[in-house]
Structure 1
Amino acid sequence: MSVQAIGGSLGVGLAPFVLAFLASIYGWRTPLQILAVAGLPFLLFFLLRTEETKGTKPGRVERSFPKLSLAVAFAIFFFLRAFVFKSITTFLPTYLVEVKGFSLGLGGFTTSILLLPGVFTLPVAGVIADRFDRVLIVVLSSLSSALVLFLVVTYFPSGVLLYVLLISLGVFLYLSFPAILSLVKEVSPGDEYGRTFGINFTMTAASGTVAPVIVGYIGDLFSLGFAFRFLPILLFIAPFSILVVKNRI
């Protein structure tokens, strides 16, 4: 899982810098037009290469759908984590440019510095998730990312220290990803694996939809800096939903 996620994290990490760089030269219309058509060749390739599969694999063990408490616990974690991630990726470039006075290119570069560590963290995180307690990994990485994010939004240091903290935040945010996906797979029934993932990623999508609205509204009422101060609290709360049901995993 961690190896497959490298491509996604590389795209997420490079996008802010590349799009901001293009926007600073050509304006925002050009990068948005590129985004609109860039995925079409890959979609066509995927459709041509995908073969339809039917039936179940031999030897599969049938289990019932996971208990409601487990489903709710994972859904809460995915929702809170996605809320923080989407809020940061949506508003950090704006905050850097409009509030901190960064140039458009530097704001995009700084945002990429936060996101690119996922490319290098995910393979290592996958190995760690295979060898150590996954619940412990999820809890420690979430609490560590909450602490680092608190330092960033409270003090917002300048220079090298800012980039060190952003890289650390990116590492801790991605560190829990293979572990939480492995936990979801462990508790998922044989024939309900896709449904379980669908529920959790629905929560991720829903959170990504409402996060910009809520954080943007708070930013309009007060400031983006004030809105960012709530995000470490959400990261701090998220792993406790997993701890509550630890004995049932």
Structure 2
Amino acid sequence: MKGLRSLSASYETRMLAALALGWATLQCGRFLLPPLLPLITEALSFSSAGIGLALTLFGLVYALTQYPSGRYSDALTRSTVILPGFVVLLAGFVVLGFAVSQTVFVTAMVVLGVGKGLYASPSRAFLGDLFSARRGRALGIYSAGTDVGGLIGAGIAVLVLSTTVWRVAFVPVVAVLATVTALFFVWNRQSYELSSVRLSPDDTVGRIAESRRQRETLVAFSVFYFFVGGLTNFFPSLLVARGFSETTAGASFALLFGVGAFTKPVAGEVSDRFPRLLVGAIGLVTAIVGLSTVLVAPTLGVVAVGTVLTAVGYKTQFPIADTLVMDAASDGEMGGDLGASRAVFLTANALGPGAVGVIAAVTDFGTAFRVLVASLLVSIVLLGRQYLRDED
């Protein structure tokens, strides 16, 4: 990878720590939103469909930024894209903290979508460069930042729910993100380069969808990301609709992340040792069993069991999806291929909250989540069929 100098183990570890902490912090801010949605909806006079569509807009902007950010990180350096990503994220969270109207809130969502898009693919590709022999493990640790951040975010949200002043929740996010930005700038050994870059989306699409196997992988994980978009944005709302308190729903939401923080590194390690497709398919089956349990659970204890199974199942997929794309890409095109693939995944992810919000508005959250459960069957069939072909 151009711009990388000779690397020591301590440098690799520091950069993994910095990038994972950056991801954890931005995800903390992102996942502060679901538990706070009832307060935000009331304060800004959003409908359930309106707030769902605002979150969908965030997801679409995030998705559309993936390919150009990945391609630029291939042609220039990863750091040239990652550092501006940090700056834009800081601006987005500041705007969100001052959201006093629907327009300001939507603007914040757009800015955050751009910042997250600039950060996500180049940072993963950076780690793919550093840990080429153990990508599953490195990306498992990195992606566990989502769960560490989500767990902290849920905890902050529980405290904020008792005060109703939801905007102050984003103050620690801005402070920590600013610190991580400074650490990345100081520790980074990669150069920063500025020059014109030619985007070649047709070539990239041709590569990532060249074979039947690649096309099925894209579809399988796109459906999975659709599921995740609906689940993570409205899981607390589902539990509140089932009669549980907002505090209990927030704690159950935190449980998803607590389990995921341990599951992702383990899943990444396991996928380095065993067939990634098999590990992924087993995880999806576990997620279906878990969420189905939550939907029929008569008590909080059974909800907790279902939540744990759901988390183990769906959190397993994240390091696997990214690593499968990286394994299939050449070194000079890994960022662009990963960015384009993630753009497809995240476009589907962005549709999830909009679909759940609209279905819930027309029927109820139980029906919306049963649709999510059914959608995972498509992913299981596709990944399972690929694994069986490999075994033949």
Pairwise TM-score range, normalised by the shorter structure: 0.7 to 0.9
1:74: which partner in 2? 217
CA distance in 2, matches of 1:20, 1:207: 29
Paired residues for 1:5-44 under 5 Å:
5-32=143-170, 34-35=172-173, 38-44=176-182
Q: Pick from 187, 194, 203: which aligns with 2:328?
A: 187
Give the drift of 1:31: 1.7
CA distance in 1, matches of 2:332, 2:380: 27
Secondary structure at 1:148's aligned position in 2?
helix
Q: Pick from 191, 215, 238: which aligns with 1:52?
A: 191
User: Does the 8 A contact of 2:277 with 2:386 survive in 1?
Assistant: no
C-alpha change, 1:75 and 1:47, in structure 2 (3 Å) is farther
Give the drift of 1:48: 4.2
Tell me which of the two structures has the higher relative contact order, counting C-alpha pairs closer than 8 angstroms and 6 or more residues apart.
1
CA distance in 2, matches of 1:10, 1:230: 28
C-alpha change, 1:33 and 1:23, in structure 2 (3 Å) is farther
User: Please, which runs of 5 or more residues in structure 1 have no aligned partner?
Assistant: 55-63
Paired residues for 1:50-199 under 5 Å:
50=188, 51-52=190-191, 65-66=207-208, 67-97=210-240, 99-153=241-295, 155-199=296-340
- Structure 1 counterpart of 2:222, which letter? F
1:60: which partner in 2? none
CA distance in 2, matches of 1:70, 1:40: 41
Secondary structure at 2:332's aligned position in 1?
coil
CA distance in 2, matches of 1:240, 1:170: 20
User: Please, which runs of 5 or more residues in structure 2 have no aligned partner?
Assistant: 1-138, 194-205
Tell me whether 1:237 sits opposite 2:378 in the alignment. yes
- Aligned-residue identity in percent: 22
CA distance in 1, matches of 2:156, 2:149: 10
CA distance in 2, matches of 1:204, 1:180: 10
CA distance in 2, matches of 1:86, 1:38: 25
User: Does the 8 A contact of 1:148 with 1:168 survive in 2?
Assistant: yes
- Structure 1 counterpart of 2:154, which letter? P
| C-alpha RMSD of matched pairs (Å) | 2.6
CA distance in 2, matches of 1:13, 1:70: 35
CA distance in 2, matches of 1:233, 1:175: 19
CA distance in 1, matches of 2:384, 2:329: 18
- Structure 1 counterpart of 2:251, which letter? F
Secondary structure at 2:248's aligned position in 1?
helix
Count how many residue pairs are aligned between Structure 1 and Structure 2. Answer: 238
- Structure 2 counterpart of 1:21, which letter? L
User: Does the 8 A contact of 2:158 with 2:247 survive in 1?
Assistant: yes
Q: Deviations over 1:46-94 (max 9, x none)?
A: 344432278xxxxxxxxx9352434432322232212212211111112
Give the drift of 1:3: 2.1
